[in-house]
Amino acid sequence: MPRSAVQYSPVPVVAGHQEAREAVARYSSSAAVTVHSQDVVLCSGCSCALDLAITVLANPGQNILVPRPGFPLYRTLAESLGIHVKSYNLRPERGWEVDTMHLEQQIDASTAALVVSNPSNPCGSVYSRQHLRDILQVARAKFVPVIADEIYEHMVFPGQTFHPLASVSDDVPILACSGITKRFLVPGWRMGWITIHDRHGIFETAGVRAGLQRLSQRILGSNTLVQGALASIFTRTPEKFFQDTIMTLQCHANIAYDMLKGAKGLTPLMPKGAMYMMVGINMAEFPDFASELNFVEQMVTEESVFCLPSKCFDYTNYMRLVLTVPEEQLREACHRITAFCKRYHRPEDADSHKGNTDVVETCTSNCSAALRESRDLIVPKDASISP
């Protein structure tokens, strides 16, 4: 067995081996923000990082603020700990930017943390530096720390720029969560991290750093063999690998947008990054369906194409497409979606449509089975599938 494998195989250091934390610190540092190894807590994937961040900042009975639409894991993690979840609205007409006025209205005396997702799953949005400043201004005025979900960092399309939230903040304390899952395309390796950004010692005084160390003991640390490889993963992965990934995702986004913008009753929103596209469904023009959930279920039954209904993301009248499928399958899926819309589109009956247009507060059990990342699929029409 290689020496490095032996070195990292014994009982793990719960917050991560020093060399691995140093590698993450170097990878996460830039001209605008410096990360030290003591600011890094290694986790079993970014989901574990989010779990630790929420747990250390919020107590049962307090609340955290999450985006709507947003990744449902935030709610799942918080509510399992007795922490309440309040949603702040995103604005689709402005590229899914945060409605900062609504965000400010949602904050109360029991708010323990604000979760900001950039780039976004499910929206594919990428925030400008100025918009991040606007978000931080609300957090600063209300004395609310931020959990930055940045697992899609650097996965932005040409012409866009990813700005780490910590690079914009002078004083708001931030726990930034990321990992190698998305950018390096290795979800099964379970390697994520939290970087602590605490320029004025607010987290230090509150015991957050020590709390994260203690919480890390619950799973006895992250994958030790991957820790041993982190430095090489960061420095030896060719830049062309990242470029090819981004070009593929952008190409697929262009294909899906161009094909679906002509579909009756649909309004695709072009993403700026990540792996997803949100597609609006004018439910009033599909009177056979009470909601986008019914729409998607019927589309699976008839066309064997599955997209996550936006109800899974605490939203209505949208569905999410994953852009990682091979181009041939993506084109075929878009053809089938278009055919399905043509079959059921009846704008003349819009006045009689009585579907629910209110924003939902929870993801129903019908959605729960669908919440498996990157599992939107297309299968042969004669295959036996279950919605």
290-332 tens-digit pLDDT: 999 999 999 999 999 999 999 999 999 999 999 999 999 999 9
Residues 200 and 246 in one domain: no
In sequence order, the 6+-apart residues with CB closer than 8 A to the CB of 214 are: none
Domain extent for 295 = 240-378
| pLDDT tens for each residue of 19-47 | 999 999 999 999 999 999 999 999 999 99
Does residue 330 lie in a domain region?
yes
Residues 251 and 227 in one domain: no
Does residue 384 lie in a domain region?
no
Residues 127 and 187 in one domain: yes
Q: Which of 295, 250, 304 is nearest to 277 (CA)?
A: 250
Q: Which of 236, 254, 281 is the last residue of a domain?
A: 236
Residues 270 and 141 in one domain: no
Does residue 386 lie in a domain region?
no
What is the rounded CA–CA span in Å between residue 335 and residue 23? 45
Q: Count of domains in the chain?
A: 2
Does residue 385 lie in a domain region?
no
In three-state secondary structure terms, 306 is strand
In sequence order, the 6+-apart residues with CB closer than 8 A to the CB of 331 are: 255, 259
| pLDDT tens for each residue of 213-262 | 999 988 877 899 999 999 999 999 999 999 999 999 999 999 999 999 99
Written as six digits, the tokens of 10 are 């014994």
Q: Which of 236, 258, 288 is the last residue of a domain?
A: 236
What is the rounded CA–CA span in Å between residue 204 and residue 211? 10
